[in-house]
Structure 1
């Protein structure tokens, strides 16, 4: 028994040592201003075992900052809780933004992203609406997309009460929310109501990335290949396969992107999604869709959330704001 315990302890020690070395190497690749002491702790593999604790962590409420009001509404069927962030001061015919939170389709909440939502509301003078869409694996595709589309429909039908112009709506999202935003842009176009703009922050677009064995060293911080595999499997209700995925589930699979709204795509060069995001931007351009692509050297996934004061992250977010302002 003692021998087995010693072997187990030795195995754990070796595993911890390998993880330490791998983390040191990953951090060494990061731009110094983007390094954060929390990175080793937030680089956690998402799995059935870790999901309950991660979901609790992702329910934290952030502050939207000054100059905005935040109220909670319920829309759609099944009922979806949404946050409505409105700039202070009564106005009508404001532009609006449908903002979709990240979290791999399996975790996350709108209140965790109130810092960005508040900024968009203030700087654009826009009403920002963010749904607490249903999560996988309990609610696989198309639940999250249906909730997002129901929220968009509610915004249009209640434009007067919200004080918005129903013809001046953009969609934005980060990570999984970016993938949802791309899907919303596609489906809205197909249903005859094209949006003004789409802003995709390091979006989760292509399930086939899971099947790529050569990630070129990307995805070592925050969002890993293992988490990506678990998330896509949960969202699709099955393991990804090269042959197919349901329409709108993986927006990068769509061939004809013509007629979609002008896009802004931002991603870091250390991000697991770098390849699929660059490819989607190139496909948009090839289909005649204006697309501004921002790639940030030595930036990992969601770095703007962990290094908010870094100048490169300020420039990154301001680029999104400028894109939306130009089209709203």
Structure 2
């Protein structure tokens, strides 16, 4: 049984239902993204999505890859020296929308609280750039950051990945590839309500098809837009839950929301990792919706989750070997 949603969360969900275009009804995806950006940059939006922590220094860098250049936001803790551990963070948005800015509240809070540098790269979005564009962008961005760690002031021996929703999918894929492709070695993975199965609807989605923020219809539309002509492939690069082996993966912290159709995605991924002997911390946050960690102004549990992530990263990534 899910806990009741806080009044602020319910009010926000009702407002979004009135103002936001559902992805399954959208035809202009550039406008869909612009709509989201306008909301984030509005005075009410800044209250909802939170402001970056002032204890960090934020800069923007370019990540030049073959045939394209990605943008990344770097959150550096102040008052610390030497090469710093790093968390590479992939934003959510259903592979169709979103940007590094939308996770600035969490990323900056993590940097300030743990002493790690948080690097949030962009990646190409669907449907203009369908699967596997986002997979390749995030994987190559991770490799670029690891290869240039010294120049970026980072410790290549203390790296982790993090992502929420679609970004959790991409972080899980990157963690799997770090093992199957021989690096970059990762100390940990933080998966926030990750979408690890592209097609199957688990019990939570059947039980909660019309929850606020993300519905079953939304998720189906995102999957079709992201996969494009590859829709139906069982490749674990699309659905990391379908991997044939989870052996040797880095320790994971999986966070889920109790009013989220994707709740069981996190549950099943936890079980798959545990069967392989991977250390897993798991927490389901009561009274929360999909996306709650990015909504500190309307979801009181966001601060609690951010503190949990800080503690996990401090214990698994920041500490020297």
Task: Assess same fold via TM > 0.5.
Answer: yes
Of 41, 56, 67, the match for 2:34: 56
8 Å CA contact retained: 1:308, 1:314? no
* Residue in structure 2 matched with residue 256 of structure 1 by the alignment: 245
TM-score using structure 2 length: 0.86
Structure with bigger gyration radius: 1
- Residue 136 in structure 1 maps to residue 155 in structure 2: no
Does residue 266 (structure 1) correspond to residue 255 (structure 2)? The answer is yes
Match of 2:192 among 181, 185, 201: 201
Deviation at 1:52, TM superposition (A): 3.2
C-alpha separation in 2, matches of 1:38 and 1:311: 13
Count of aligned positions = 299
Question: Which residue in the other structure is 2:139 paired with?
Answer: 149
TM-score by length of 1: 0.84
Q: 1:247 to 1:188 in 2, by over 3 A?
A: same
Task: Say what the alpha-carbon RMSD is for the aligned residues.
Answer: 2.3
Q: What runs of 5+ residues in structure 2 fail to find an aligned partner? A: none
Which consecutive residues of structure 1, in runs of 5 or more, have no partner in the other structure?
Answer: 1-27
Aligned residue number for residue 156 of structure 2: 166
Superimposed CA distance per residue, residues 283-312 of structure 1 (whole angstroms, 9 cap, x where no aligned partner): 100011011111123321112333447553
Distance in 2 of aligned mates of 1:287 and 1:211: 21
Q: Does 1:284 align with 2:273?
A: yes
Q: For the residues of structure 1 that align with 2:107 and 2:297, how far apart are their CA atoms? A: 14
Report if the CA contact (8 A) 1:175-1:202 is conserved. yes
- Whole-angstrom CA distance in 1 between matches of 2:115 and 2:129: 34
Distance 1:42 1:210, change over 3 A: farther
**Contact 2:56-2:108 within 8 A present in 1 as well:** yes
1:247 Cα deviation after fit: 3.4
| Residues 100, 130 of structure 1: 8 Å contact kept | yes
* CA-CA distance at 1:54 after TM superposition: 2.5
Matched, 1:67 2:45: no
Q: Deviations for 1:135-188, whole angstroms, at most 9, x for unmatched residues?
A: 011111111121112221121122112111101001001111111100110111
